[in-house]
Amino acid sequence: MLTEAMRKVTPQLVLLDAAAQPAGCTLPLFGLDAAALSARMAQAGEPAWRGRQLTEALYRQRLADLNEFTTLPKPLRQRLIAEGWQVGRPAVAQVFQSVDGTERYLIECGDAQTVETVWMPEGDDGDSGDEGDSANEAASSLAEGDSAHRRWKATLCVSSQIGCAVNCQFCLTAKLGLQRNLSAGEIAGQVVAVLARHAVEVGRDRVNLVFMGMGEPFLNYDSFMGAVRLLVTEVGLSPRRMTVSTSGIVPGIERFAAEPPEMRPRLALSLNAPNDSVREQLMPINRKWPIEAVLEAMRAVPMRPRERITFEYVLLAGVTDQPAHAREVARLARRSGLPVKVNLIAWNPGPGIDYTMPQPEAIESFRRTLIDEGIPAYLRKPRGRDIFAACGQLKRTVEG
Ligand code: SAH
Ligand code: SF4
């Protein structure tokens, strides 16, 4: 069944390299890596090892104000501030709290633009780390930790652009169009700001990152991977606990395939349809890069042991949730030759989008069919629907 909205889809021109604009402050330090910070210190006439102190303060101690950088001598701090240096980390401007514990943040990026980030305690059942540690993870999610601090197990959903140019017909973010790309510091800054807010202990708490907020990460590739490098190298997070989701940008997937394994997050594809003809109605990008071209690019990504690629699949009543669709998805998954699991997402409604939520029986029967066909399939819990924080609902809605 095609809805009126789907018939109206026209081919979409996608900007491959809209330039990242810098945030508002004059000399932002956040976003620079250890080498760049050392170079900045050398330029300021200081020994390069002061760069290491800055790195510690920015990414490990997560300080947001240069006045608090007490490892630097006070006169140096004062001189840097007088010269216009600032931390320049994106700041949480507004918080919306859901009844289910989810928090949605509007994060300010310094030019009056805000971006959305979502914190989901207990995760969302869809994107835990590499398969190998999921059993341990289940056990430790119950752990209380010591009396001082209950351990976190949470998923953090991060944005890569303000708005999105890809124009998927079921997604509220698409309604914004592309406002601008985020810089590496603005992407990593969302993470560090939220880790600071919840006093997360890196290495002890289990926080998964999903690059599944606003925007298409592979249309802002350099900033996205720059953020990953900062988060791995300076913040200390593991790329095996990060998942990047793409609508199927082939040149981005090709670059991703060449990243070193120790720096590469896990990969998810927003498949969302059982075949090209349905997919191109829902996702105009499919006309540029059809399913087989995307799978071909994905086959070049060297998988780690036990790693799987995730197919995300949004269930739209009558459009993608039929039993025949499930069988087609299973065949497609097998034919792909990829180690695949499927994350089913019941479509989250939004104003002005003309689809219908799937019935619970249709969701369960879809999942059952995939499992009976030998394809691992999970249902992603909708989180924070009451505050417009669920998948595809990120549009900087200020009520909630
Ligand atoms: N742009 C990237 C990542 C962000 S979208 C991508 O599309 O992969 C994250 C996921 O939310 C995608 O799998 C997308 O298909 C899904 N999604 C978008 N709108 C949705 C909605 N209204 N309800 C449920 N899922 C949605
Ligand atoms: Fe962009 Fe992803 Fe939404 Fe499509 S689903 S419009 S790619 S954010």
For residue range 143-181, what is the model confidence (pLDDT) as tens digits?
444 445 578 899 999 999 999 999 999 999 999 999 999
User: Which residue out of 164, 287, 347 has the highest number of ligand 2 atoms within 8 Å of its CB and is therefore the one to mutate?
Assistant: 164
Q: Among all ligands shown, which has an atom nearest to the Cα of 159? A: 1
The answer, yes or no, to whether any atom of ligand 1 lies below 6 A from the CB of 159, is no
Look up 168 and say whether it is catalytic: no
- Residue 140 pLDDT: 37
- Residue 126 pLDDT: 54
The separation between the first and the last C-alpha atoms of the chain, rounded to the nearest angstrom, is: 33
DSSP string of 324-355?
A: HHHHHHHHHHHHHTS-EEEEEEEPPP-TT---
Average pLDDT, stretch 381-393?
78
Q: Indicate whether this model's pTM tops 0.95.
A: no
Distances (CA, A) of 42 to 12, 32, 54, 65, 219: 47, 14, 13, 21, 34
Look up 399 and say whether it is catalytic: no
The 3-state DSSP class for residue 221 equals helix
- What are the two backbone dihedrals, phi and then psi, of residue 81, each rounded to the nearest 5 degrees? -65, -45
User: Which residue out of 124, 159, 171, 343 has the highest number of ligand 1 atoms within 8 Å of its CB and is therefore the one to mutate?
Assistant: 171
Kindly report, residue by residue over 294-307, the tens digit of the pLDDT. 999 999 999 999 99
**How many other CB atoms sit within 10 Å of the CB of residue 371?**
15
Cα 174-179-183 angle, rounded to 5 deg: 115
Q: What proportion of the chain, given as a percentage, has pLDDT over 90?
A: 75
Q: How confident is the model at residue 26 (pLDDT cuts 50, 70, 90)?
A: low
Ligand 2 centroid from CA 340, angstroms: 21
Please state, in angstroms and rounded to a whole number, the distance separating the CA atoms of residues 318 and 302.
36
* For residue 289, pLDDT beyond 60: yes
Choose the catalytic residue: 103, 116, 186, 307. Answer: 116
Q: How confident is the model at residue 43 (pLDDT cuts 50, 70, 90)?
A: confident
